[in-house]
A = this chain, B = another copy of it.
């Protein structure tokens, strides 16, 4: 069994290992978990003792299969709870992450399966992120950042990279949520910002950072 702190470390290592292919660094973990590098070293050594991570001093850390399994189950629980909060309890897009951050640590395999069943075995959470199944398989999602769409193309918003409240609230304010149709009107070379049309109606301007964090369906038109 893992403590809540250990679980949060495993989840963080899993997330960061997509950006850092040869070992997650101590400092990036410290930043992600809002803690100190020395605390990370301590914990990572403990996780290595438990054979949940591979760790060589100064070389960063990767998950063992055992550690990865736990991380994926946590993501599964997190996203199922988020969907429950969103769909059944009427929480907003930007209110669910923090609560799910606590709920994901409730220890009961049966609870997760029943929740999955109650929600009708969903494939995506309210942010458009894929929900892994019992075995840890992620459903395919072939989305690309809005920043990679060409002028003139249209697409549907299917997710976001940045799940911070501030970004999500901003998106709602400018009229963007899951399912919104967006047409690329014009890219601006100098700052990579873009003018778009929302739902064939409203014209708005998106910064490059926003464009990178909005995920669109690949339209094979």
Any B CB within 8 A of the CB of A90? yes
Size category, A interface: 10 to 19
Any B CB within 8 A of the CB of A30? no
Show 21 residue pairs from A and B whose CB-CB distance is below 8 angstroms, ordered by the A residue. A85-B111, A85-B114, A88-B118, A89-B111, A89-B114, A89-B115, A89-B117, A89-B118, A90-B114, A91-B110, A91-B114, A95-B110, A98-B108, A99-B106, A99-B108, A99-B111, A102-B106, A102-B107, A102-B108, A103-B103, A103-B106
Contact residues in B for A115 (Cβ distance below 8 Å): 89
Interface string of A79-112 (1 = CB under 8 A from B): 0000001001111000100110011001110110
Number of copies: 2
Can you name 13 extra interface pairs (CB under 8 A) apart from A89-B115, A91-B114, A103-B106? A85-B111, A85-B114, A88-B118, A89-B114, A89-B117, A89-B118, A90-B114, A91-B110, A98-B108, A99-B106, A99-B108, A99-B111, A103-B103
Contact residues in B for A108 (Cβ distance below 8 Å): 98-99, 102
Contact residues in B for A103 (Cβ distance below 8 Å): 103, 106
Cα separation A117 to B95 with both chains bound (whole Å): 17
Interface string of A115-151 (1 = CB under 8 A from B): 1011000000000000000000000000000000000
Contact residues in B for A118 (Cβ distance below 8 Å): 88-89
Tell me the smallest distance from the CB of A176 to a CB of chain B, in Å.
Answer: 24
Cα separation A117 to B103 with both chains bound (whole Å): 19
Contact residues in B for A110 (Cβ distance below 8 Å): 91, 95
List 3 tightest A-B contacts by C-beta distance, closest first.
A89-B114, A102-B106, A99-B108
Cα separation A85 to B115 with both chains bound (whole Å): 9
Contact residues in B for A89 (Cβ distance below 8 Å): 111, 114-115, 117-118
Cα separation A85 to B102 with both chains bound (whole Å): 18
- Nearest CB to that of A95 among chain B residues? B110
Contact residues in B for A99 (Cβ distance below 8 Å): 106, 108, 111
